[in-house]
Amino acid sequence: PARGETVFEARDVRKEFGGLVAVNDLSFSVRAGEIMGLIGPNGAGKSTTFNLVTGVLRATSGEVRFGGQEISRCASRSIARRGMSRTFQHVKMMPTMSVLENVALGAHIRGHATGLSAMLRMDRNEEKRLMKEAHRQLERIGMSALMHERAGNLALGQQRLMEIARALASDPILLLLDEPAAGLRHKEKEQLAEVLRQLRTEGLTILLVEHDMDMVMRLCDRIVVMEFGTKLMEGTPTHVQADPAVQAAYLGT
């Protein structure tokens, strides 16, 4: 998609859990080549939104569109195949496998069944292709020196980057990151931010859920602020930071 074009759109998306409205008729869109932030206090509905977008949960009502098509009723695997890739808040990896192998698992998603069982069934050529793709993605984010390291031996910041490389290995159009900076040290955060900026420069579109306000404000092009399932506001970092309602609800000032 051309830069600035709408790649993703949520229209009046609603999710109820029993009597609780976790996401209340939320609408927002993401444009190609931008980093869109999704912030809000605990319980605001960010994770639920992520799960609705990626097909992990089904919306009670409303519509999710991706690449011009409605995906509200698609399975998560089918959504992944269309070019949406995500990382999880808690690192998911095979700790005894190498970094390269962990990333190669991600390359298998698009167009095929996911997971290790599928990987075990593939032939030698397919395996070579996946390893090559994994290598390429590790180079892309400056991690190829660590490719033969056991994933479990990596520092948390490196594991998060490995997860991003794995998500990239399926060649996504939209990358969703769930709190990638959580628990990282200052230097690791800087490195992460640099990688995300580089990916944006390359034309990737990113939806970022993140608690680190400093990072969100410095990195995002636009931000959606949620509170109690509802969109409180949407705008540039400058615009969002200056808003009295946002300050009262979220920034605690």
Per rule CB under 5 A, is residue 47 in the interface with Mg ion?
A: yes
Closest distance to Mg ion from the beta carbon of 49 (Å): 9
Footprint (CB under 6 A) of ligand ADP, residues 15-34: 17, 20, 22
Nearer to ligand ADP, 104 or 216 (CB): 216
Per rule CB under 6 A, is residue 180 in the interface with ligand ADP?
A: no
Per rule CB under 6 A, is residue 86 in the interface with ligand ADP?
A: no
Nearer to Mg ion, 47 or 72 (CB): 47
Near ligand ADP by CB under 6 A: residue from 37, 45, 83, 157:
45
Contact segment (CB under 6 A) with ligand ADP among 36-44, 65-73, 149-157, 230-238 equals 36-44
Per rule CB under 6 A, is residue 48 in the interface with ligand ADP?
A: yes
Contact segment (CB under 5 A) with Mg ion among 46-54, 75-83, 140-148, 214-222 equals 46-54
Near ligand ADP by CB under 6 A: residue from 47, 98, 137, 170:
47
Contact segment (CB under 6 A) with ligand ADP among 46-54, 65-73, 78-86, 119-127 equals 46-54
Closest distance to ligand ADP from the beta carbon of 20 (Å): 6
Whole-angstrom distance, CA of residue 89 vs CA of residue 86: 10
